[in-house]
Structure 1
Amino acid sequence: MNKIKNSPLVLCIMDGWGLRDQKNCNSVKLAQTPNFDKFFKSYPSCKLEASGEYVGLPANQIGNSEVGHMNIGSGRVVLQSLPRINEAFKDKKVFDIKEFKDFFKNHQNNKTIHIIGLCSTGGVHSHENHIVNICKLVSKKVKKIKLHLFSDGRDTLPNEFGKIIHEFTSKIPKSVKISTLIGRYYSMDRDNRWERIEKAYNLIIDGESKYKCNNIVQAITEAYARNETDEFVSPTSINDYKGIENGDSLLIVNFRSDRVRELLESFLKDDFSFFNRNNNNAPFINALGMNEYSEELNKYIPSIFKNEIHKDTLGEIISQSKLKQLRIAETEKYPHVTFFFNGGHEKEYELEERILIPSPKVATYDIKPEMSAFKIRDELINCIKNKIYDFIVVNFANPDMVGHTGNLDATIKAVETVDNCIGDITTEIKKINGTILITADHGNCEQMWDDQSNSVHTAHTTNLVPFIMINENQNIVKLTDGKLSDIAPTVLELLGIKQPKSMTGQTLIT
């Protein structure tokens, strides 16, 4: 570790920890959080915008972990995929995109195009309007179209799918046949739970399912009768769907990468081995994605839209300054402190190291609300004691991941776990005169009930998030309220590093 002022500097991201004054169904207010309460009151602190136009999303759109980490790490408001794609459909530019044209050139006559993705108003991984627009465009070129829908219930209310499906089906062309329904719990795993992905694979590729329905309304109605919420809808085939045929094409409509990678690997990679595919070959040869999903998957699936890779991110500037940095998180948030924090840059920067702590293998995280937080804490404290790194980014997933379950008691325990961890980490940082910045990427756990729908609230929020600066030499510093992209300039100021012009955020230190 180099001798540089205010280092080591730990940037601690409490994922999904928002601020809300009302106490009812507010995990943060209901939990015992002596460390957070003391820190927020006794040290320089402020509040940050983490949603809508402040993070490059449409106004009033909830923030999310991808967007939050990208804004924090880039130090600028990053225009996100949702508004970029909205604009492209509005201007009718999609038909002119080369990859879109090539997809139809490569599609075999009299074969089916399978459109697959999350049907959601959440706008986090996809949007129902994008599916409608894609269906309309494809129906102008191809007669045989089958639609495979994932229900949300995680970035939306738990039973929203049943409320939106009537209007959704009225918007798509009649030539588009809805063929399957499955909850995102199975189809959008990102934690190597291949037994879940296998269920989605068998449904879409082979038409294999326990439940069979005549139409999508019957499918979701029967799922609710089984006490399944949208996220957990069992694989259901619709209208006697039998699976794909040789020569069929794939079009995936999710624009966010982290929760479609596993399913796409099973669809596209010949050397896939995580479960047994019946014919042992990649079922789709011709495929198209809404967005780029990874450097590896780019070999198999071109995309309509391209990811923007941002330069002069916080991680890159730290690296150029010859400082050693660490990223540490458990599996659920590991891509966020690496790929997304680095502005879409997949590989480590020079002098950047990464520690991945496996997330616990449980069905849902309310079963184990502490997740892997204590393992992260212990590993991080060891790094602090050994004075290895100048800059550390750590993510605690608990408030977000447990908050998504809708279980208030478990989420309170999750919040208390993180409070315990930030207390212990701060104690160690103080011993070596370092700095810890405590913040969040978006809200979630502070609102666990939706009065309007009279149901649990499992989605993110538009609430502000905290920002706390703890450094015994900086106690008289004043902070001003801001937005997530102001964090990186603040880090650079504390470390005495010049802020690049492309980093347009403003330091929070007044």
Structure 2
Amino acid sequence: DEDMGNSEIGHNAIGCGRVFEQGASLVKNAIENGNLFDGVIWQELIDNVNTHHSRLHFIGLLSNGNVHSHIDHLEALLAEAKKQGVKKACAHILLDGRDVPPTSALEYVNRLENFLAALKDDSDIDFAIASGGGRMKITMDRYQANWQLVELGWKTHVLGEGRTFESASEAIGILRQENPKVIDQDLPPFVIARNKNPLGPITENDSVIFFNFRGDRAIEMSVAFENEDFDKFSRGPRLNVKYAGMMQYDGDALIPKKYLVDPPGIDRTMGEYLVKAGIKQLAISETQKFGHVTYFFNGNRSGKFDESMENYIEIPSDIVPYEERPWMKAAEITDKVIEAIQGGDYQFIRLNYANGDMVGHTGVPDAVEIAVETVDLCLARLLDAVKEANGVLIVTADHGNSDDMFQRDKKSGEVVFDEQTGNPKPKTAHSLNPVPVYIFNPTGTVKMKLSDNNDLGISSLAATCLKLLGFEPPQDYTPSIIDLN
């Protein structure tokens, strides 16, 4: 399978005990069968711009990484918009370099620029890239870690404020010349100008689509567009625009209110099962993964199933580049978890160390080594606490990242070297390697053996945890990786 795992799908699978059709395939199918374009929301957005002779805007991550978005989806939306009479459309692109090679932005920008040029088969069609920037510099913040990124995205995409260039490809070329070491995700924001004016700011009666299908990094911009009561930054004059997401990114908070494709329906999660069974739970991580051990783990559900049975702890993440503090908040998380184990109030604790993923995405091997060593030290402390409490510890991952830090030849698997520097080319994307799972049962609290079933995966962990806690997993859960003696 050439599709990388990601944290959203991984935590869904771990917490829900099953594998669900997810955003990427749901959107692909809705485009191919036409349901997206037959939908009420799509028609409302198109009718709005056709009625007012205004612009249709697309904001999102430009790559084929298929983790947050896919360039195929954007091109399909643009082509259909033209087919339905839209004359003016703008793409506000976030550069990836995280789920795809770290300096591959021009591959996607050139493709999109050529695609847009091909759509202009007559003079009254004006489709163009209007703004952009690296995904870790503007717009795609998550879990309210740094609203300044969203504010900068708003100024860039909506207000058309910032450094101007004649094209996106020119912007990337010049920005790379100025900082040769910069990778795509960290490129500064840019605005495309025509006759010295911003080409495509978002103005009155425009329609806007956030074309990412994954929600965590699309929620905050959606809130900025939709909320009347908004105090995170000054948005300028309140615009009357039609806004929709590719999907609904938070079903409980109804963010956004309008969306093009229905999200997956997930029910009967492990967290809900344990609450009903009277098991008190703790979920803990730092900001960058807090939503994963809560929202995604609970099947894309905000909030708790039962306030009296669940405690969620968020350790605020540092707002600095991860390679500068690769230890992140692992020690603080470990302190809290050991305190919880020793306190004896919780029968089930779930935690996420963000280091391996967040530092792995930087592509800086020295920092990654420190990140992994940090987690090693913290796990050693947890092992002692679990042993003292006669507990059981499961250690796993939702996908790979720090396990493979260099680009590899697709045929030979050999490391690819940079011809100019002679150094290995850094890899910032998730790996395709299988993830490990370890069960630490130091005092023999549970008598068990590994299952003979070979067709298992991370969705097996929900059934595994339920068995370890003495419960019978639901029949439609992926089978446990252990059998009890």
TM-score by length of 2: 0.88
Shift in Å at residue 300 of structure 1? 5.2
Could you tell me how far apart the structure 1 residues matched to 2:44 and 2:203 are? Answer: 21
Match of 1:294 in 2: 250
Deviation digits for residues 410-452 of structure 1 (CA, Å, limit 9, x no counterpart): 1111111111111111111111211111111100001111144
Q: Deviations over 1:358-385 (max 9, x none)?
A: 11121x1111111011110001110100
SS of 2:285's equivalent in the other structure is strand
Name the counterpart of 2:67: 124
CA separation in 1, counterparts of 2:226 and 2:269? 32
1:355 alignment partner, one of 313, 329, 337: 313
Show the counterpart of 1:275: 233
Contact 2:386 2:393 in 1 (8 A): yes
Instruction: Check conservation: 2:100, 2:428, Cα contact below 8 A.
Output: yes
Amino acid in structure 2 at the alignment position of 1:214: E
Matched, 1:365 2:322: yes
- CA offsets per residue over residues 166-213 of structure 1, 9 Å max, x none? 223323423321111211111211143122222211111111112x22
Give 1:289's aligned amino acid: G
**What SS class does the counterpart of residue 441 from structure 1 fall into?**
coil
SS at match of 1:449: coil
* Per-residue Cα deviation, 1:17-42 (whole angstroms, up to 9, x for no partner): xxxxxxxxxxxxxxxxxxxxxxxxxx
Using the TM superposition, give the Cα deviation of residue 502 of structure 1 relative to its aligned residue in structure 2, in angstroms.
3.3
Q: Are the counterparts in 1 of residues 250 and 300 from structure 2 also a CA contact under 8 Å?
A: no
- Counterpart of 2:57 (choices 108, 114, 131) is 114
| Number of the residue aligned with 2:406 | 449
Counterpart position of 2:459? 485
Q: Residue 344 of structure 1 aligns to a residue in which SS?
A: coil
**Aligned with 1:468 (options 414, 431, 438):** 438
Provide the rounded CA distance (Å) in 1 between the counterparts of 2:23 and 2:88.
28
The TM-score normalised by the length of structure 1 is: 0.84
Q: Does 1:509 find its partner at 2:482?
A: yes
Equivalent of residue 28 in structure 2, options 61, 66, 86: 86
Q: Deviations over 1:10-68 (max 9, x none)?
A: xxxxxxxxxxxxxxxxxxxxxxxxxxxxxxxxxxxxxxxxxxxxxxxxx3200010010
Q: Are 2:149 and 1:196 aligned?
A: yes
Deviation at 1:315, TM superposition (A): 0.7
- 1:325 correspondence with 2:275: no
**Contact 2:21–2:264 (8 Å) recurs in 1:** no
Q: Which runs of 4+ in 1 moved over 6 A?
A: none
Question: 1:456 is paired with a residue of what secondary structure?
Answer: coil
Distance in 2 separating the partners of 1:487 and 1:477? 15
Partner Cα separation in structure 2 for residue 365 and residue 284 of structure 1: 38
Deviation at 1:149, TM superposition (A): 0.8
Partner of 1:147: 91
Q: Which residue does the alignment assign to 1:218?
A: 170
Question: Residue 471 of structure 2 aligns to which amino acid in structure 1?
Answer: I
After superposition, the Cα gap between the structure-2 partners of 1:295 and 1:81, relative to the gap in structure 1 and judged at 3 Å, is closer
Deviations 1:342-368 (A, max 9, x none): 111212112122111111121x11111
Query: Which residue of structure 2 aligns with residue 12 of structure 1?
Result: none
- Aligned twin of 1:45: none
Q: Is the 8 A contact 1:268 1:285 kept in 2?
A: no
Structure 2 CA distance, aligned partners of 1:354 and 1:500? 25
Asked whether the 8 Å contact 2:96–2:134 carries over to 1, the reply is: yes
Question: Which residue in 2 is equivalent to 1:237?
Answer: 191
What is the distance in 2 between the residues matched to 1:465 and 1:100? 39
Q: Is the 8 A contact 2:222 2:255 kept in 1?
A: no
* Partner Cα distance (2:19, 2:253) in 1: 27
Partner of 1:26: none
Equivalence for 1:335:
291
RMSD: 1.8
Q: Secondary structure at the match of 2:324?
A: coil
**Equivalent position of 1:416 in the other structure:** 373
Per-residue CA shift, 1:135-171, capped at 9, x if unaligned? 1111223111111111101111111111232223323
User: Is contact 1:307–1:344 with CA below 8 Å preserved after alignment?
Assistant: no
Q: Mean Cα displacement is larger for which, 192-201 or 331-340?
A: 192-201
Give distance in 2, aligned partners of 1:237 and 1:368.
31
Task: Work out the CA distance in 1 between the residues paired with 2:294 and 2:457.
Answer: 20
More displaced 10-residue stretch of structure 1: 466-475 or 369-378: 466-475
Q: Secondary structure at the match of 2:362?
A: coil
CA contact (8 A) 2:129 2:192 kept: yes
Q: Residue 235 of structure 1: CA displacement?
A: 1.4
- Asked if 1:184 corresponds to 2:135, the answer is yes
Q: Is the 8 A contact 2:252 2:301 kept in 1?
A: no
Residues 340/182 of structure 1: CA separation in 2 closer, same or farther (3 Å cut): same
Q: Is the 8 A contact 2:251 2:300 kept in 1?
A: no
Aligned CA distance change for structure 1 residues 476 and 250 (closer, same or farther; 3 Å): closer
Q: Distance in 2 between matches of 1:196 and 1:144?
A: 27
State the number of aligned residues: 447
What amino acid is aligned across from residue 139 of structure 2 in structure 1? S
> Which is bigger in relative contact order (C-alpha 8 A, separation at least 6)?
1
- Given that 1:152 and 1:158 are in contact with CA atoms closer than 8 Å, whether structure 2 keeps it comes out as yes
- Note the C-alpha offset of 1:488: 0.7
Q: Which moved more, 1:242-251 or 1:70-79?
A: 242-251
When structure 1 is superposed on structure 2, of 256-265 and 380-389 the one drifting more is: 256-265
Q: Which of residues 43, 48, 56 is equivalent to 1:101?
A: 43
1:490–1:507: 8 Å Cα contact kept in structure 2? yes
CA contact (8 A) 2:91 2:128 kept: yes
Instruction: Name the SS of the counterpart of 1:250 in structure 2.
Output: strand
Does structure 1 retain, via aligned residues, the 8 Å contact 2:95–2:134? yes
Alignment partner of 2:354 out of 366, 384, 397: 397
TM-superposed deviation, 1:273: 1.3
**CA shift for structure 1 position 476:** 6.3
Shift of the alpha carbon at 1:275?
1.7
Alignment correspondent of 1:33: none
* Cα offsets for 1:91-133 (capped at 9, x unmatched): 2222222222233344442111111111011111101111101
Q: List runs of 5+ in structure 1 lacking aligned partners.
A: 1-58
Gaps of 5+ in 2: 410-415, 418-424
User: 1:146 is matched by which residue type in structure 2?
Assistant: C
When structure 1 is superposed on structure 2, of 331-340 and 291-300 the one drifting more is 291-300
